[in-house]
Structure 1
Amino acid sequence: MNNHLPLGTKTFNIVFAGHVDHGKSTLIGRILWDTDSVPKEKKEAAIAYCQKNRIEFEYAFLLDSLLEERTQNITIDVTEVNFFYGQRRFRIIDAPGHLEFLKNMISGATKADAAVLVIDSSVGIGEQTKRHAMLLALLGIKQIVVALNKFDLVHYSPQAYKILHNECIQLLEKLELPCNFVIPLSAKSGENIIERSTHLSWYEGKPLLEALLGLDISTSPENSPLRFPIQDVFRFDERRLLAGRIESGKLQQGELIAFYPSGKKSKVKAIHHWPPESSPQVVSAGKSTAIQLEEEIFVERGEIIAHENTPPIVATDFFARIFWLGDHPLAIGAPYTFRLTTQQSIARVLQIQRVIDATTLEDLQPVPMEVKKNETAEVIFRTSAPIACDLFENVQTTGRFVFADQNRIAGGGIILKALPSKPVHEIKGRSRISAVQRAKFLGHRSGVFWMTGLSGSGKTTLSNRLEQILFHRGILAYVIDGDELRGGLSKDLGFDAQDRKENIRRAAETAKTLAKSGLVVIVALISPFEEDRKNARSICEKDGILFKEIFVDAPIEICKSRDPKFLYLKASKGEIPKMTGLDSPYEPPSHCDLHLLTAQESIETCLEKLLDFIVPLVRISPDKERELGLLEDPAAEI
């Protein structure tokens, strides 16, 4: 194997991306074979495997280390392999091509100097190729070579090359990506990889490996500002060591450093490696290390060490571009786990400003209120705690983040701009957090939705279903149910007129308090008297709480036939005195905000009407923010 290069030779990192069936693994395997970069035993094992199974030799098997990959004929994880050619060391990052494994590409391509986008010439540019190209744009890769593989299947046609060449250029230009080369080749037959092919005599460009030799190695991260995220804190004897990996810049013993986002400072007393005698006085990007401080200050995992004169950004509000991979759409206001280097926080999207259709690469109009799987979007989001980071164009490692949904990676993104967030001012009352701040953070405003109607009309069923649906849409909701209230807060009350009035008052005060905390409160109470319901509305509205009355209407005979809690049965036996609808009146609303006829319409239809009524009232779109005075127009800062 040709692996004897001068010491200090820099490695050129290149990510290979492409559709699952476009021959990416075959191309990588062929490169390794032709550059004599495959160990003899691995060659022999691949040949023996093919002979044993009586199949044609496949260069892709040189990469496949998992039996599952061979049997499924798909690559399921990021693989890194090295080869040497023309006095340059290359590291190939094999990014998965199958749609279900696209998320690995986010981590697999982070350190690439360039990318090879593999396209089957007989198929052309498909939807998944466009998604890979969008990911490359998201990752900020500045050098791209398009490999038009399987060119033998289009009979080495110069006309086919011209068409494909133009389509590739248009695709990359649309995504503002560079295109260094568009190279026709055949991985299986080894044409135009190392040497020019006689079948491609009309092609005037370079073969693939010559083209790769002509690309530039990225600027060393050592020359970037110091970014040292703390991964863990250890104590040995009397020493307290901060451990992690230096992502960029250099760290020197004795120098003053600062910690972000806390802003604390100290000097580096010592740099520790193992064994101790190897401990240096200077460490650079790419090295894992541990440091000891002169002054023992309290810092923890997630802080980023930097120099005072080149600090990272510290903010909570960001404008970012994301690629979404979650099974459930990204929703405004829904909580996601935000991870950037070793930092972690809760993040919520405040605005979706742009969504790109993965098929056409055109902006979707009107701008959707959610981002679906495999779509790229530009959003404004807020984290629950200050985050130390950089703009992606300045320091890529600390400008890149992921979102997790229920502990599973659901998307990745890059920070384009940090936005100023409104300072917390002291306000009246005990809470120092205003309703505006709560609404902006949660992504929805609060409110009380009072559902009144006879027992058995469907209030409880609708309320519980509504609460679940709102929660999964990123709207925090809570149900106050009459039975629960009677069993706790109103346990001391009876059922005469005065106690019923007090029960409604307590329910209204509780609903108001919960709404002040930012929740959407659904009250499911018979509340038979109109005066009491008007009083509940007054209690909420005098404190500026949105209040809507919903009449859940069903005739008494229908309610008696349903009787889910057997109340009518008990009343008929004299066990419940003054049962509403029987021997105590129910006063239907003279005016309500929503009227649901549950005897005539299904639960699903009523739920749909509830959602159509409630969601636009509480969900904060950019227009709604301006209308409610919630928007300090972060878009204007972009």
Structure 2
Amino acid sequence: TNYYVTVIDAPGHRDFIKNMITGTSQADCAVLIVAAGVGEFEAGISKNGQTREHALLAYTLGVKQMIVGINKIDSSDPPYSENRYNEIKKEVSGYIKKVGYNPDSVAFVPISGWVGDNMVSPSSNMPWFKGWNIKRKNGATKKDEEKSGTTLLEAIDAIDPPARPTEKPLRLPLQDVYKIGGIGTVPVGRVETGVLKPGMVVSFAPHGLTTEVKSVEMHHESIAEASPGDNVGFNVKNVSVKDIKRGNVCSDSKNSPALGAVDFEAQVIVMN
């Protein structure tokens, strides 16, 4: 892969939809997995199915890029069926278009997680599959572009990287706060704007607690600077895990620190 990729495994079960919302809200791209097994796809795409709900939630939560993995293609009838792939692609394309996605910009990849088909290297079990092809506008250049490939890994590599507004003041919403033995309090979250560095004095909105950042880690490695899009953990001085919590916003105390809003406008989606 050309990038560091943070995989957020959002649960698919309807009982854990709140966890799925938490995970999806941090993502740049959704990988929607649909099952090609007999009856499985039909259950997911049915009126109350999880495929429908997850696609709608992803778009609603601002995840505007999508990859569709048509999984268990080895257990279709017959195995590795081109007709089943085309049937699912047509049905899912129609639904995600209604949600707001442009199917032309979505890679549809027939895969088998169990066997490994088309996950990292092209499969020899599907000679009919000539690869995926997408057309979209590049987020940075605003120019039309095309990307193509065969595997799920290549589709992930083709994600349009998010804008990195490093010049704006730091904003880092906390996803969780951990107490780690021998280190102390470690808040984690994704940098939305600005940069986070060791030695920086940060404050946490809305209560305004101020502290110094001792270290910043990403993918278990210490880094000198975290930029927008980076999922990081950072160690803070003299702060208890009881003092800060998920939902607090970390910002630079010396550069336009975050404040509580008097009011705000929201788009509200009501789901049955």
**What TM-score comes out, normalization by structure 1 length?**
0.28
1:315 aligns with 2:237: no
Output the CA distance in 1 between the equivalents of 2:188 and 2:73: 43
Structure scoring higher RCO (CA < 8 A, sep ≥ 6) equals: 2
By how many angstroms is 1:102 displaced? 2.1
Task: State the match for 2:122 in structure 1.
Answer: 196
Code of the residue aligned with 1:104 in structure 2: it is N
Task: State the match for 1:209 in structure 2.
Answer: 153
Code of the residue aligned with 1:154 in structure 2: it is D
Output the CA distance in 2 between the equivalents of 1:320 and 1:213: 31
Code of the residue aligned with 2:112 in structure 1: it is S
Task: State the match for 1:295 in structure 2.
Answer: none
Output the CA distance in 2 between the equivalents of 1:187 and 1:229: 33
Output the CA distance in 2 between the equivalents of 1:195 and 1:132: 27
Code of the residue aligned with 1:115 in structure 2: it is A
C-alpha offsets along residues 449-499 of structure 1, whole Å, 9 cap, x if unaligned? xxxxxxxxxxxxxxxxxxxxxxxxxxxxxxxxxxxxxxxxxxxxxxxxxxx
- Residue from 83, 87, 97 that aligns with 1:159: 83
Asked if structure 1 preserves the Cα contact closer than 8 Å seen for 2:169 and 2:255, the reply is no
Asked if structure 2 preserves the Cα contact closer than 8 Å seen for 1:243 and 1:291, the reply is no
- Give runs of aligned pairs for residues 103-502 of structure 1, distance below 5 A: 103-121=18-36, 122=38, 123-124=40-41, 125-126=45-46, 127-152=49-74, 153-155=76-78, 156-178=80-102, 179-205=105-131, 206-220=150-164, 222=166, 225-227=169-171, 247=191, 248-250=193-195, 271-273=212-214, 284=226, 286-290=232-236, 302=248, 305-306=251-252, 314-322=261-269, 355-356=270-271, 375=272
Code of the residue aligned with 1:12 in structure 2: it is V
Q: Pick closer, same or farther for the CA change 1:290–1:310 going to 2, 3 Å.
A: closer
Code of the residue aligned with 2:262 in structure 1: it is A
Q: Say which SS state the counterpart of residue 5 (structure 2) adopts.
A: strand
Q: Pick closer, same or farther for the CA change 1:107–1:221 going to 2, 3 Å.
A: farther
Task: State the match for 1:473 in structure 2.
Answer: none
C-alpha offsets along residues 177-211 of structure 1, whole Å, 9 cap, x if unaligned? 35521112333333232333344222211122222
Q: Pick closer, same or farther for the CA change 1:211–1:99 going to 2, 3 Å.
A: same
Asked if structure 2 preserves the Cα contact closer than 8 Å seen for 1:261 and 1:304, the reply is no
Output the CA distance in 1 between the equivalents of 2:202 and 2:81: 60
Output the CA distance in 2 between the equivalents of 1:308 and 1:244: 20
Task: State the match for 1:11 in structure 2.
Answer: 4
Code of the residue aligned with 1:225 in structure 2: it is P
Asked if structure 2 preserves the Cα contact closer than 8 Å seen for 1:12 and 1:113, the reply is no
Q: Pick closer, same or farther for the CA change 1:151–1:257 going to 2, 3 Å.
A: closer
Code of the residue aligned with 1:214 in structure 2: it is A
Identity %, equivalent residues: 28
Q: Say which SS state the counterpart of residue 160 (structure 1) adopts.
A: helix
Q: Say which SS state the counterpart of residue 133 (structure 1) adopts.
A: helix
C-alpha offsets along residues 536-587 of structure 1, whole Å, 9 cap, x if unaligned? xxxxxxxxxxxxxxxxxxxxxxxxxxxxxxxxxxxxxxxxxxxxxxxxxxxx
Q: Pick closer, same or farther for the CA change 1:309–1:165 going to 2, 3 Å.
A: same
Output the CA distance in 1 between the equivalents of 2:120 and 2:199: 50
Code of the residue aligned with 1:321 in structure 2: it is V
Which ranges in structure 2 are unaligned for 5 or more consecutive residues?
A: 132-149, 178-184, 216-221
Q: Say which SS state the counterpart of residue 8 (structure 2) adopts.
A: strand
Output the CA distance in 1 between the equivalents of 2:11 and 2:53: 12
Q: Say which SS state the counterpart of residue 67 (structure 2) adopts.
A: strand
Q: Pick closer, same or farther for the CA change 1:158–1:110 going to 2, 3 Å.
A: same
Asked if structure 2 preserves the Cα contact closer than 8 Å seen for 1:222 and 1:284, the reply is no
Q: Say which SS state the counterpart of residue 105 (structure 1) adopts.
A: helix
Q: Say which SS state the counterpart of residue 168 (structure 1) adopts.
A: helix
Task: State the match for 2:218 in structure 1.
Answer: none
By how many angstroms is 1:226 displaced? 0.9
Q: Say which SS state the counterpart of residue 261 (structure 2) adopts.
A: strand
Q: Pick closer, same or farther for the CA change 1:129–1:227 going to 2, 3 Å.
A: same
Asked if structure 2 preserves the Cα contact closer than 8 Å seen for 1:95 and 1:109, the reply is yes
Output the CA distance in 1 between the equivalents of 2:249 and 2:113: 46
Which ranges in structure 1 are unaligned for 5 or more consecutive residues?
A: 14-91, 233-241, 275-279, 293-299, 323-354, 357-374, 376-638
CA RMSD across the alignment: 4.2
- Give runs of aligned pairs for residues 489-568 of structure 1, distance below 5 A: none
By how many angstroms is 1:101 displaced? 1.9
Output the CA distance in 2 between the equivalents of 1:245 and 1:187: 30
Q: How many residues align?
A: 213
Q: Say which SS state the counterpart of residue 321 (structure 1) adopts.
A: coil
Q: Pick closer, same or farther for the CA change 1:249–1:188 going to 2, 3 Å.
A: same
Q: Say which SS state the counterpart of residue 320 (structure 1) adopts.
A: coil
Q: Pick closer, same or farther for the CA change 1:245–1:165 going to 2, 3 Å.
A: closer
Asked if structure 2 preserves the Cα contact closer than 8 Å seen for 1:158 and 1:202, the reply is yes
C-alpha offsets along residues 289-309 of structure 1, whole Å, 9 cap, x if unaligned? 4479xxxxxxx8557535666
- Give runs of aligned pairs for residues 551-630 of structure 1, distance below 5 A: none
Q: Say which SS state the counterpart of residue 118 (structure 1) adopts.
A: strand
Output the CA distance in 2 between the equivalents of 1:213 and 1:109: 19
By how many angstroms is 1:94 displaced? 2.3
Q: Pick closer, same or farther for the CA change 1:96–1:245 going to 2, 3 Å.
A: closer
Asked if structure 1 preserves the Cα contact closer than 8 Å seen for 2:33 and 2:70, the reply is yes
Q: Pick closer, same or farther for the CA change 1:224–1:201 going to 2, 3 Å.
A: farther
Question: Based on CA coordinates, which of the two structures has the bigger radius of gyration?
Answer: 1
Output the CA distance in 1 between the equivalents of 2:237 and 2:113: 48
